[in-house]
Amino acid sequence: MVDDLILKVRTSGESANPLLFVIMDGVGLYRGRKEGYDGNAFDQARTPNLDRLFRNAPVFLELKAHGRAVGLPTDSDMGNSEVGHNTLGAGRIFEQGAKLVNEAIDSGDMFISQAWKDLVERVKGGNGAFHLLGLVSDGNVHSHINHLLALIGRLREEGVPRVRIHALADGRDVEPVSFHRYISRLEDQLHQVNQDPSMDYSVASGGGRMRTTMDRYNADWSMVRRGWETHVLGVGRGFRSCSEAIEALRAERPEIIDQDLPPFVIVDSNGEPLGPINDGDSVVLFNFRGDRAIEISRALTEPQFTEFDRERFPEILFAGMMEYDGDLHIPPRFLVHPPAIDRTMSEYLVRNGVSQLAVAETQKFGHVTYFWNGNNSKQFDPDLEDWVEVPSDKTPFDQQPEMKAREVCQVVENALEEGTYRFIRVNFANGDMVGHTGSLEASIAAMEVVDECIGRLERAVDRVGGMMVVTADHGNLDMMLEIEKTTSNVKIDTNGRPVKKTSHTLSPVPWFLVGRGAENYRQNERLSQPGLGNVAATLLLLLGFEAPEEYLPPLVRFNPPEAESNGN
């Protein structure tokens, strides 16, 4: 009902008009061992604007952006952009992909679902193979190897005779050069299964996640085409095993990290591909995160598909680990239901007549739209919501660390000057996308560009008399070198070089408030461990509304200086 989405207007306190909300994607505050640590791109960057704001902002806080604070299973789990934006936009914490999949596997609910039964039945008595496609690591951002091993174990129990794995290398949410360790675990399990002569389980293809299959937001369909050629057509450079492929590819390019490994195909003794996806097969994409799963899901399910020439379209039964786009129902069949996120901040605002603008470049456009809006790809009210996507370049991020930050900034500056929107949210992708490359130098440059844009936006907000909130969704470029857990020293590889860190971090993220009227707000001291889930209620408060009861409490309270002087 629309009526129960009407917010109460605050009876006291100034409200921001406009309110600008800035997300510095991947910019955390590393508070670990600092002396002698040279891997913090944030600390090494020249950031005069942020330095000044951290010193002088009326309110500055550090927020939890990982683990249970964003719905992940444990506080050892890094946050990520998907769950971060879900939590920012929803105003409370929902159980997220990894935890939902864990529960579905542990309870056995996944395997009694009709989708699973249909997939197994299709290949159990015939000549078809059961294919498992996804990211093989324990990064727990897009997937977890334990889920893959559990699926293999279940298929063995159910007597499925032929299983093929299409293994994508991570090196982004885990150590940059670690694929061999995960493949060793996988191959050990496959070897055990194959002790039964009726079973034929093997890796069929693979490649690095940033070279093949896992594109997102339509940024580079050639990645998906390479995945199609590798996994479906069985076309590509052949090796007798996945371990052999990894060893050979690294020997040829010692500097290569896992995410950039070229695609490869596993072949038999005659040089024929061991497991292309064919008519009559079943396929499960075991990634649980949606953004980098949608495009390959479309290619595997849509009869009318025009993004690239598939050459052939096998008649298969396909399921995702989860429904990756609940609005467009991609894919049509899935094994675990995603969290049902309702009553997001955007929906409340449009029902209360507040105009909104969301801006980001392609790499993070879905995060300030789809994920922010509770996994919905459409506006709640197109008359009150505008979305602007600035197309990302295809240049490697470490070669162009500024990405499209300045163009994104210009869009927001123009919108502030025009005065059309009461609430604007913007994402700067640099900290995350450049941080993932492992290049410290490029990440420092990326941070400096973000700082430049923060300064520009602060001045633009000041010109129109608004407020600005700046935060991040998780950490990344704050730790560019791996740390030994036992010693807290920088990890050194076998060649004596520091090990690059390309994954997210467990760091808290900054949150500060500036602008006209910001001096009238104070930290809400009742919050002992504030996190991203408290942000939506805060933004509603700043816009002049009382947050709904189901939201987590706001980070700040209205308490002007004169109230303090009167003892309030």
Q: How many distinct helices (H) and strands (E) make up the chain?
A: 17, 17
Average pLDDT score over residue span 427-434: 97
Residue 130: DSSP 8-state: E
Query: Residue for token digits 């590509």?
Result: 236
Are 203 and 186 contacting, i.e. CB atoms less than 8 angstroms apart?
Answer: yes
Phi/psi of residue 138, nearest 5 degrees = -110, 30
Check whether residue 59 and residue 133 sit in a common domain.
no
Last residue of a domain, one of 314, 336, 358: 336
DSSP state of 498: B
Which of 319, 336, 353 is the last residue before a domain boundary? 336
- pLDDT band at residue 441 under the 50/70/90 scheme: very high
Residues in the chain: 568
Distance from C-alpha of 290 to C-alpha of 297, rounded to nearest angstrom: 10
82 and 146 in a single domain? The answer is: no
Nearest to 511 by CA among 90, 59, 25, 87: 59
* Owning domain of residue 314: 98-336
Please state, for a pLDDT cut of 90, what percent of the chain lies above it: 82
CA neighbor of 229 nearest in space, from 185, 262, 194: 262
Same domain for 304 and 442, yes or no, is no
Domain check: are 396 and 479 in the same one?
yes
Per-residue burial over 345-371, b if 16 or more Cβ lie within 10 Å, else e, is bbbbbbbbebbbbbbbbbbbbbbbbbb
The phi and psi torsions of 503 (rounded to 5 degrees) equal -95, 175
Of 213, 211, 371, 206, which Cα lies nearest the Cα of 298? 213
Q: Residue 280: phi, psi to the nearest 5?
A: 90, -5
Position 487, amino acid: T
Q: Is residue 313 located within the same domain as residue 259?
A: yes
Which H or E run contains 484? none
Hey, which residues are catalytic here? 81
Token digits for 541? 């408060």
296 and 396: one domain?
no
* Total domains present in the chain: 2
- Domain CATH for 255: 3.40.1450.10
CATH number of the domain encompassing residue 454: 3.40.720.10
303 and 366 in a common domain: no
d(CA 467, CA 281): 56
- Residue 34's pLDDT is 53
CA 138 to chain centre: 15
Q: Are residues 59 and 116 in the same domain?
A: no
At 249-275, the pLDDT tens digits run 999 999 999 999 999 999 999 999 999
Beta bridge pairs of residue 475: 505
Mean pLDDT of all residues in the chain? 93
pTM: 0.80
Task: List the structure tokens of 565.
Answer: 């002087």
Considering the domain architecture, whether residues 148 and 131 belong to the same structural domain is answered as yes
**Residues in CB range of 544: below 8 A, 6 or more apart:** 9, 10, 13, 15, 16
pLDDT at residue 558 tops 80 = yes
The answer to whether residues 420 and 504 belong to one domain is yes
Per-residue pLDDT reduced to its tens digit, 167-183? 999 999 999 999 999 99
Q: Same domain for 368 and 505?
A: yes
Whether residues 191 and 44 share a domain: the answer is no
Q: Which of 91, 89, 99, 90 is CA-nearest to residue 68?
A: 99
What would you measure as the largest C-alpha separation in the chain, in angstroms?
87
pLDDT exceeds 70 at position 32 = no
Domain boundary among 290, 309, 336: 336
Confidence category of residue 214, pLDDT binned at 50, 70, 90: very high
